[in-house]
């Protein structure tokens, strides 16, 4: 009897240990599952926040793009180029987009000098380039077609250069207005020009230029023009 009792007691003890181990395993399993759930919940929250942030940024970008497009459409109002009495080019004036003048010029055309034809010869190296002074710039857009723009100068020098920084430009004409109101109109004959430096006007004795006004259009989606005076 005692042997049987001992065996039964041992079996009961083993069963108790097994039950305890099972309960601990279940508890650990529940804890691991809970931890895994918290981690997954945290990841989902971060992912949702990230998606929400991307949507906000995309919304701002879309709004900005729409606003820019609306501004461009608002700008696309064509009008006839206005010229002063005595303007030497006789053909009918073009319908153009007029870019706003950022800084009003001081001198208006008073008297026109004889018309000059533009050679439009390009150079990549300007002799005396260290004497070039940046004056003004303009950006033309393909969608705007023929455009009138003004580049301020208000400086004295011996040569006036146009630099096409990027894109291709088709030029119609330009007028250079000097400080005394004398105005030199340059017939540019719809020459199309690539990036490079182009001599616009040469006055060896030096002259004070107030501004230039030009009519041109971009032949690429965008074209950038810079006016420079050589001392």
Say whether both 35 and 106 belong to one domain: no
88 in a structural domain? no
Say whether both 71 and 128 belong to one domain: no
Which of left, alpha, beta for 201 (phi over 0: left; psi -120 to 50: alpha)? beta
Say whether both 98 and 171 belong to one domain: yes
Total number of domains constituting the chain: 2
> For residues 128 and 224, is the Cβ–Cβ distance under 8 A?
no
Say whether both 225 and 114 belong to one domain: yes
Last-in-domain residue among 75, 104, 121: 75
Give the residue-averaged pLDDT of 43-63. 55
> Which residue range forms the structural domain that includes residue 14?
1-75
- Share in percent of the chain as helix, strand, coil (round to 5): 35, 40, 25
Say whether both 65 and 105 belong to one domain: no
Q: What is the pLDDT of residue 27?
A: 46
117 in a structural domain? yes
Q: Which CATH number characterizes residue 156's domain?
A: 2.60.120.1300
Beta strands, E only, 179-195: 182-187, 192-193
Flag whether pLDDT at 146 surpasses 80.
yes
Nearest residue to 155 (alpha-carbon basis) of 177, 137, 138, 171: 177
Last-in-domain residue among 75, 108, 131: 75
CA distance 105 to 128: 28
Say whether both 127 and 221 belong to one domain: yes
Nearest residue to 167 (alpha-carbon basis) of 211, 123, 220: 220
3-state secondary structure of 191: coil
Say whether both 112 and 220 belong to one domain: yes
DSSP 80: E
Say whether both 40 and 99 belong to one domain: no
Say whether both 205 and 132 belong to one domain: yes
pLDDT tens profile 60-80: 444 443 455 445 545 568 999
pLDDT tens profile 84-132: 999 999 999 999 999 998 888 889 999 999 999 998 888 866 666 667 8
Say whether both 134 and 224 belong to one domain: yes
85 in a structural domain? no
Q: Provide the whole-model pTM.
A: 0.66
Say whether both 119 and 220 belong to one domain: yes
């Amino acid at each position: 009897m005692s042997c049987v009792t001992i065996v039964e007691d041992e079996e009961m003890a083993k069963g108790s240990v097994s039950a305890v181990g099972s309960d601990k395993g279940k508890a650990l399993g529940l804890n691991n599952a809970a931890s895994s759930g918290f981690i997954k919940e945290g990841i989902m929250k971060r992912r949702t926040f990230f998606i929400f942030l991307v949507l906000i940024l995309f919304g701002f970008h879309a709004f900005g793009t729409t606003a820019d497009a609306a501004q461009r459409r608002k700008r696309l109002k064509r009008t006839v180029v206005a010229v002063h009495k005595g303007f030497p080019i006789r053909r009918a004036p073009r319908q153009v987009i007029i870019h706003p003048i950022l800084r009003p010029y001081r001198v208006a055309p008073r008297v026109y000098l004889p018309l000059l034809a533009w050679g439009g010869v390009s150079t990549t190296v300007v002799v005396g380039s260290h004497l070039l002074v940046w004056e003004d710039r303009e950006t033309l857009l393909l969608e705007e077609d023929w455009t009138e723009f003004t580049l301020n100068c208000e400086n004295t020098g011996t040569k006036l250069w146009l630099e096409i920084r990027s894109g291709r430009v088709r030029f119609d004409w330009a007028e250079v207005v000097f400080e005394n109101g004398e105005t030199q109109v340059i017939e540019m004959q719809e020459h199309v020009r690539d990036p490079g430096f182009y001599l616009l006007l040469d006055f060896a004795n030096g002259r004070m230029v107030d501004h230039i006004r030009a009519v041109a259009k971009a032949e690429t989606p965008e074209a950038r023009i810079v006016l420079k005076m050589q001392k």
